[in-house]
Amino acid sequence: MGDLFVWLIAFFILIALLVIVIFQLMALADLEFDYINPYDSSSRINKVILPEYITEGVLCLFFLITGHWCMSLLCIPYLYYNLHTKTAFGRCD
């Protein structure tokens, strides 16, 4: 029964990630069809970047805590990419 709750929670976290990605794609589609200017589009997308990164990190941590090693191993490269692009960890200044 516990595994069912783990997968339900993971499912709803993935749905939240899909909603964030669809929002970003809609903002880019509006930009492509000239409904909004680039400044407004980038400000809309930048507002949801950090919640997307946090949600992905929570999902990866959730899989690690619950012992789903294969799923956490699938999440780690994307989490590394997010850390690499967002922080100064990957920059050569």
- Which residue range is the domain that position 61 belongs to? 2-88
87 phi and psi, to 5 degrees?
-100, 175
Gap between the Cα atoms of 72 and 63, Å rounded: 5
pLDDT at 25: 97
11 phi and psi, to 5 degrees?
-60, -45
pLDDT per residue rounded down to tens, the chain (93 residues): 888 999 999 999 999 999 999 999 999 999 999 899 999 999 999 999 999 999 999 999 999 999 999 999 999 999 999 888 877 665 655
34 phi and psi, to 5 degrees?
60, 35
**pLDDT tens-place string over residues 42-68:** 999 999 999 999 999 999 999 999 999
* Structural domain includes residue 39: yes
Residue 37, SS3 per DSSP: coil
* Structural domain includes residue 28: yes
CA 83, 84, 86, 88 torsion-angle sign: positive
Q: What radius of gyration, in Å, describes the C-alpha atoms of the chain?
A: 16
* Structural domain includes residue 93: no
* Structural domain includes residue 47: yes
What is the number of domains present in the chain? Answer: 1
